[in-house]
A = this chain, B = another copy of it.
Amino acid sequence: MIVLEQMGSFFIGGRRIRVADQPLRPIRYSATFAEDYDPNGSFLVEAAYVQFFLPTIRRFETPLLLAHGGGLTGAQWESTPDGRTGWLPRFLEAGVACYVIDNVERGRAGFCAIEGEWPDPPLLRSDEEATRLYRFGYGSHKFPIAALDRLSAQTVPRWPSTAKLQVDAVVHAIDRIGPCALIGFSQGGGLACQAADRRREAVKACLLIEPHGVPKAFEPGLPGTPAAMVLGDFIEEDALWRGLAAAGADGLDAWRAAGGTADVIKLPARGITGNTHMMMMDTNSDEVFGVLLTWLDEQHERGRLP
């Protein structure tokens, strides 16, 4: 059961642009409504969307901000592709307040459809690329592969050129939310660290799920902020993931050197096997959730996470 004091959403950031001198385009919107579309005028682009759920009774005060992975949206936290309960409802059941971002260009944030504003065309991830990047090729993996189709359905276009906008959006979200802990998955893990580095007082903890893009260096002065990197199975067998995990570990060393604390949580070392990159969707997603919640509880007990 989930008991909420409040839920809703807001949009953060954005850039205002003005379009002029473009020709009208005749459009038929429906059988009963046709009009010229006027592409000229004032537009707000590059905002991000944040949906929030605030439980009435809190496990701890500090809310989480969940940052999705590349080619995905906040939907990745809600339900698994085969229809089981996802990590977002599990956090809410546990009394943890959650803010879920759809970053610039993704999901409900929309994207900048005005020609010439973004330099590159968007990328859409194929099933073949997903299978490779997410480590679905290993025999004993726990991704619900019969529902791969429903993961494909939730894969959305991304633009590689928006990386800086996406870090800015996480910073804007932190500024709006106040003190919070970040959970970042994959691309979102890198964004979380970079944003945490820029908001050192507000970010109380960083939980990085197979992150990529963790900076290699941080300026000294992190106020003891705890970070952890969670890694699934088949990392050692996979050249790409061996490299990404090593880069993540280097980033955590830098985090530690700058004054934070850092744990590397290898699920197989705890007897939790078969996890792919999409561990929030794997058949043992509840078990992995338990690992995350325990780590957050520990930071709370240590006095790091109010």
Contact = CB atoms under 8 A, between A and B. Distances in A.
A168 interface: no
Nearest to A133: B35
Contacts of A41: 126-129
Contacts of A43: 124, 126-127, 152, 155
Interface residues of A, number: 82
A51 to B, nearest CB: 7
A33 B244 CA distance: 8
Nearest to A107: B108
Interface string A135-166: 00000000000000110111111001001000
A299 interface: no
Given A7-B78, A40-B126, A212 B150 contact: no
Interface string A17-35: 0010000010111111100
A15 to B, nearest CB: 10
Q: DSSP majority for the A interface?
A: mixed
Contact of A9 (B3, B79, B128): B79
Nearest to A80: B8
Interface of A: 1-11, 14, 16, 19, 25, 27-33, 37-45, 47, 49, 51, 56, 70, 73-75, 78-79, 83, 85-86, 88-89, 92, 102, 107-108, 110-111, 113-115, 121-124, 126-129, 149-150, 152-157, 160, 163, 187, 190, 212-216, 244, 247
Number of copies: 2
Contact of A213 (B31, B56, B75, B127): B31
Given A3-B3, A6-B89, A43-B124, 19 more contacts: A1-B5, A2-B7, A6-B85, A9-B79, A14-B152, A19-B126, A29-B212, A31-B213, A32-B216, A38-B126, A41-B127, A41-B129, A44-B153, A44-B155, A51-B75, A102-B107, A107-B107, A110-B154, A111-B156
A86 B187 contact: no
Contacts of A56: 1
A213 B33 contact: yes
B32 A89 contact: no
A44 B9 contact: no
Contacts of A31: 213, 215-216
Contacts of A7: 2, 78, 88-89, 92
A79 B8 contact: yes
A56 B9 CA distance: 22
A187 B30 contact: yes
Contacts of A30: 163, 187, 190, 212-213
Contacts of A74: 108
A16 to B, nearest CB: 8
A128 B42 contact: yes
Nearest to A156: B110
A129 B40 CA distance: 9
B108 A8 contact: no
